[in-house]
Structure formats: structure tokens, C-alpha cells
Amino acid sequence: MKTSIINGSEVSRLSVAIQVELMRNILFFDSMLTPKIITVIYWLTLLGVVISGIGVMTYSGVLSGLLGILIGGVFVRVAFEMVIIAFKNNEYLRKIAEKP
């Protein structure tokens, strides 16, 4: 496989082609970037719920903290799933439209 030198490092042409295709998909809206961002935000929010639950455990009691983590975790999951459903619908409609 042929390689080329970019900024002092060898990079295969296949790797460059994959990166160009990825950027083209993102820049021309062939691939959705928001679901990837939403996934990161979901995990950060879930971490915040757990940290808040631990804080409630220290000041109000273990039971209320565990209940807060449980209810907060379920609420966050449901809220983010409703957002992701919109993007999944778009993906499924695109697949249906591409069928011959």
C-alpha cells in the first residue's frame, strides 16, 4: 500500500480517503453529528445525577439519595431517548427512500 507524507508522518491513502469521506458526510449533512454529541451529553448528565445523589445522601439520608439517583436516572434516560427517536426516524426514512 502506498503511503504519503503529511506533516512529517506517513499516512496511507486509504486513511486519507476515509477522513475525507467522513468530513464530506458531516459537512454535507449525509451523516448526523448531533446524535453523537447527545450521547456525550447524556453520559455527562447521568454523571451529574449520580454526583447530586451522593450529595443528597450526605445531607439528607441514604434512602433519599438513592431514590434521587434512581428517579433522576430514569428521567434523564427517557428525556434523551425522546430526542434520539427523532434522529432515528430520520435515519429510517432515509433508508426507506434509498430502497429501489
Find the Cα–Cα–Cα–Cα dihedral 33, 38, 43, 47, rounded to 10°: 130
DSSP SS3 for 14: helix
Average pLDDT of the chain to the nearest whole number: 82
DSSP SS3 for 75: helix
Do the beta carbons of residue 29 and residue 40 sit within 8 Å? no
Alpha-carbon gap, residue 16 to 24, rounded angstroms? 12
Summarize pLDDT for 58-78 with one digit per residue, the tens.
Answer: 999 999 999 999 999 999 999
Give the global pTM.
0.67
